[in-house]
Structure 1
Amino acid sequence: MSHPDVILEWLRDPERHLPPQRDGDLVRDGVCSFFIAQKLGVSQPTCGDHLRVLSQAGLVRGKKIKQWVFYQRGEDRIAQAKELLSGEW
């Protein structure tokens, strides 16, 4: 599984996959990019690159809280992408 795939999977059920956060609720506000990078075992800039690509595709959305960005899945866009990919080629 690639890093973007893993990130999307973790964000599907953040309470199961990621630790509690001091700022922001895992479900309501999303997951801090710091915790995503830490769990992936990559640097903040590398994680940021993955999150930027996912965000540009609309698959995740970010919300700034204090100095951090918290990410949630973009469920509408994910559903659209699944529908497009399940069609005939």
Structure 2
Amino acid sequence: MTTHDAPVTEDLTVLTEPLKALANPVRLQVLQWLRTPEEHFPVNEVGVCVSHIQAKTGLAQSTVSAYMAALERVGLVRSTRVGKWTHYRRDEERIAQLMEQLRQNIGDIDLSRIVRS
């Protein structure tokens, strides 16, 4: 057995599942937009309506709903239902926890040292 075939001794799904959700460029973009929602969407006190997210992405409503459900499943956003509409906002506490878990597991990353092609 080589070193990269070594079994995982710790449950890393707390890291891998959110990273999988963020591996999709549209989901990552939506999470970025929701960081400053007032710059990108009409915002109310409960968050951004899924219909506004759908309009901005240009994707089908069902696709956007599935994407938002994936982000919610891993705790990166929270939803609030108002009538027939679902509104989303980032879960800043969970995002901060994820960032700390990444730092603890892989260390600080100096992005200035990454070679750009």
Which band: TM-score by shorter chain?
Answer: 0.7 to 0.9
Query: How many residue pairs are counted as aligned between the two chains?
Result: 83
5+ long unaligned stretches in structure 1: none
Q: Which residue of 1 is the match for residue 64 of structure 2?
A: 47
Q: Which residue of 2 is the match for residue 5 of structure 1?
A: 28
Q: Normalising by the residue count of structure 1, what TM-score does the alignment of the two structures yield?
A: 0.86
Is 1:70 the counterpart of 2:87? The answer is: yes
**CA RMSD between the two structures:** 1.4
Q: Residue deviations 1:12-52, cap 9 Å, x none?
A: 1111011x26xxx1xx2100001101101100100011101
- Cα distance in 2 for partners of 1:5, 1:47 equals 12
The one of the two structures with greater contact order (alpha-carbon pairs below 8 A, sep at least 6) is 1
14, 17, 24: which is aligned to 2:37? 14
- Cα distance in 2 for partners of 1:88, 1:34 equals 37
What secondary structure is seen at the aligned counterpart in 1 of 2:46? coil
5+ long unaligned stretches in structure 2: 1-23, 107-117
Query: Rg bigger for which structure?
Result: 2
Moved over 6 A (4+): none
What amino acid does structure 2 have at the position aligned with 1:33? V
